Structures are given as structure tokens and as C-alpha cells.
Chains A and B, each alone.
Chain A
Amino acid sequence: MFTFLASEAARDLRRAGRVGLSAILLITLSLAALGCFWLLSVNLDQAVSQWRERVRVVAYLREEPRPAAVDDFVARVQALEGVQRVRFVSRAEALSVLKRSLGTQASVVDQLPRNPLPASIEVTPTPAAATPDGTRGLSQRLAALPEVDEVQGGAEWVESLAQWQRLFELTGLGVGAVLALAAILTVTTATTLVLHARRDEMEIMRLVGATEVVIRLPVLLQGMAQGLLGAAVALVALIAAHTVVAPRVEPLLTLTLGLQRAVFLSPPQMVLLLTGGALLGALGGLLAKGRAYA
């Protein structure tokens, strides 16, 4: 029976003609737009999580503690609220890091009369504390320690990146919603036309004793098929665009956001996009059905 209903739905889809095609095109456009913003959001989200993991607060010390006192000091810092990990950086280690970063210019450091760098501790906040408020609180607690001279670092800029990500997500949803509404209306129109063309058929079906499910299911399937087709075309377009654009923008992403590669939607996200398309189409079919039967 399902094969028959599906073949009836396919027949209806052919009957919908240009209007049906427009509906598929609109669903493609709305889901492609939604997908574009989704891709941006997914990549920014990746960058945000990556940078959240890298949030550090550095406390510079007034004096380097004696080697025997280092462990005790680190333990005291470790015991503070919001601290996940503490690493002590001695003055000598700081200088050696500076030399390494200067590369061929490292000899400049040797000209210095004495090591100007202070000892420090690099504090990794717990995931819960890796927020602007969390790192602010942690900085205050570190600054209150008598050994600490100055505190630097925080999560403000990571948060502003996260805000951008949310903005992209919301804009995507807004644009997608407007286009989706247009797509639903077009599917509704296409399906209403099909229903008018099917009037006689439906009358016969009722008279001979077909159940309402058998009469109405092809309409729903036809809408779903339009939605699914539109979503599939949108997905193929997104994959093609990603394949072409990603290699060109990846150097820029690495430089600005620290992302090694531009990621694409995950398989569950792709399934969600396709399901979304099918649901859009089904909704259009349902609305048309209501309109026609009213």
C-alpha cells in the first residue's frame, strides 16, 4: 500500500509542475541560507571552545620564591577557588622562553646586564571559571596574595567571540525562518493546486470506501518529498561551496581564530537539515490540506 501511496505522491509532484519546482527552490534557498550561517556558527563555536581551553591567568611575582618554598606556594594557589592547574615559571625559565621566541635575535638577551623578567605562575581556570566573571574573580583572588605583584589575562575576548557566534546563529535562524515561511507558503500553494486537480480522484476514493489516511497521505508525502528534495539540493550546494571556499579561507582562519581547518556540518547536523526540509514540506502539505478541505 505504501508503494502505491508513494507513487500517487510522485504523480502529484509532477502535477504541481512549476509551482512545485518553485517550492523546492525556495526550500533549497532557505535551507542553504540557514546552512551558511550554521557553518559560520559551527566554526566560530569550534574557535570559542578551543580558546576557552586556552584561557590562562598569569600572576607575576614580586620576588622569586626560594626553591624549597615553590611547592608550598603552588599548593596555596592551587587551593584557590576556580583553579584547575598551576604552573610555576621561574625567572630563568622565562628568560629561556624569551630567547627561544626571539630565535636568531636571541643574542640580544645576552647583552642585558641582568635578567629583567619576573617569576610568575600560569593559572588554568576550571571550565566553570573560564568566563569573564570567573577570570575576574580569580584575578582578584590571585592579586590578594602577598607574593603577587601584578595579574594579567582573562576571558573577555573569548566571550566577545562567543557573542559573535551567537549573533551568527540568531541571524541565521532569522533569515532561515523568513525564507522557510516563504517556502511553506509556496508548498501550500503548490499542494492546493494539486488538491484541486485531484478533486475528482478524492471524491471517487471516498465513494468507493478508501480510508481518510489513504486519501490524505499522498498529499503529506508530496509536501515532504518537496521539502526533502529542497534540503538535499541545499546540502549538496553547501558541500560544494565548502569544498571550494574552505581551502581558500583556512590560512585566514588559522591566523585570526587559530583554527587549523574550516569544519563542515557533522552527520547528525546534516540529517537534521534534511529532516528540517522534510518537515517544512510536510507542514506546507498539511496547511494546504486544511485549506482545501475547509
Chain B
Amino acid sequence: MTYLAKPRLHHPALEHNKLGFTRRDYEGAISTLCAGCGHDSISAAIIQACFELDLPPHRIAKLSGIGCSSKTPTYFLGSSHGFNSVHGRMPSVLTGANLANRELIYLGVSGDGDSASIGLGQFAHSLRRGVNMVYIVENNGVYGLTKGQFSATADKGSKSKKGALNTDAPIDMVSMALQLGATFVARSFSGDKEQLVPLIKAAVLHRGAAFIDVISPCVAFNNHPGSTKSYDYVREHNEAVNRLDFITGRPEIKADYAPGTVEEVTQHDGTVLRLRKLHAEYDPHDRIAAMRYLQERQAAGEVVTGLLYADPEPADLHAHLNTVDMPFNQLGERELCPGAAALDTLNASLR
């Protein structure tokens, strides 16, 4: 980390998006995480994705729990409201916020300690309910802020920096998300921005519960030989099932793809996801097959990444509850208060 203030001056040639913002307008305060932390790469990917999607930064709400990962919302989207809540409870706060105003984009940032241990329940139930959000777990298999204890996603047999062997079975959040009914499930690697940025963009536009598990190595406590969440290990075992080219509008398919290797998925709002298949047999619309594939490849020691499952017609919590279109936080007495006359009728029925 550095104590130097970020310069406000922009290079005049800095690229502008459709809203006239530069990439810098999506940045936040300077990171206080360790140099080389995977989380900073994820923050950069979020910044890139929001910039490329032409999102007005103030229409995004970023929420987090507690931990290194949950500190990161300070480091991106400085013009967005943020909420650093309590440990493991980001999903409930996000759910409530989403109910209050359905028009904003909700970005939940959490870690493996925050979501796989203390917050496992809230992680599960927010996905079950289909809250319209992007839920990113910055997964490093370790408790960083408390200096190196194993987290619940650490693989069985992996070694801590101090040499202790993990004997507990790992929680695979992607498999859980699939089982719990998340309508968009992906896994990526903080060291692979080309894969991660389009996944975040697709997740933002997905109108349902979108979950992305991002393996994000901890340089301070989990980047040593024997760790299965180190840069080297993940690079070596990363098995991407597809590459996502994110496209807004409906552009031409470029001819340089071999037939059968490209699939287009039209999202609810008309945007198109173009998937370049790296494994011909992998079908990202088959939840059950995805679960089986993940288990098999995991048993073989692979870290499967890519867009693992997407439901092109998702329904979210607001749809389930049949709520009005106008955000709740804009409703006033006129819409909410039944008034004195209704009480007269009610009183009469209670005598």
C-alpha cells in the first residue's frame, strides 16, 4: 500500500464512455491492501466493467461485510453509496436495500470467511430468494485481517503459511450457489482480468441472483507452496470452460470462430453474451450437468472457471413478491396510508 494521495489530474487522452466518464471516475480511494493482493485486481475489474457498461456510478450501491475483501468497496466507485455492514451479514442488508429501491444496481462484495463461515446462512438464503444483485466472493482460502487462519473454502490437505495441514473438507461456494437456485453462477481468477471483466458485466445485467466466486490469492498469508489458492497453483490448475465476450446491442458474429464453438445468449434486456466454448461438451444452461461437471473436475484437481450457469429468463425477489414498479423509498402517505375513513370502517367491525 502507499500513503501517497491519488492525483486528480487525468491524462487528456483518457478514454471517455457514453456518459462522458473516464475510467478514473469509477475509482475510489487508494487501496490499503497489501501490494499484489488479488482483491485489488478484482476492484480494477469492477471499475473496468462499470466503465465499459456506461453505468452512472451513483446508481450503484456497493455493500460488504467484514474482512479484507469487504474493505475493497472503499477502493472503487467513489461516487456510489457504500455500506460496510457486519461480519457475514452483507446479504441481508443488501436484500433490504434492494427491496427499498429496485432501480439501483446492487453489488455485494464478500470474502470466503465472510460468506462461507459466519455468513454461510445469509449467503444461501439471499441466493434462494433470487435477490437481484451481483454477489462477488473474493476467495483466498484464508483469514487475512486476523493473520492467516484457514477459512472454510481452504482445500483439504492444503498447507498454511506456518505449515499446519487443513483437515476439514472445503465448502465449494459455486456448487452451493448452483444447488440453491442462483440464476447466474460463475467462477474466475483475479489474475485473469480478460475472463473476469466480461463476467462481471454479464452479472450486472443479469436480473436475478448472480454469484461470482473469484479465486483471489492472498500474497501475505496464502501464496506459498502447498496452498491451493496461490497464484502459481491456480494458474497451473485453471480449467476455463468458456470465454465470454460481452456485447451490448447485437453486433455481427466475427467469422474467425470455428463453427460450434460460439454460442450466443440473448439476455432479458436484449444484450447478447457471446460464449466461446473451450470445452465443447459444456452447456452453461444445464444446472444439473454443471453441478456434475464441477464435482468431477474438482475431484481431478482442476479449478473450473468461466460462466458455469445462466438462466436467460430469471425471476427476482421483486417478481416473487409482486411489488409495485415505483421504488418503495419514493412512496408517500398517499400511496401507503389508508387514512381515517378506513379506520372508521375498521372500528365498526371491532365492536
A binds B: no
Q: Which residues of B contact A (CB under 8 A)?
A: none
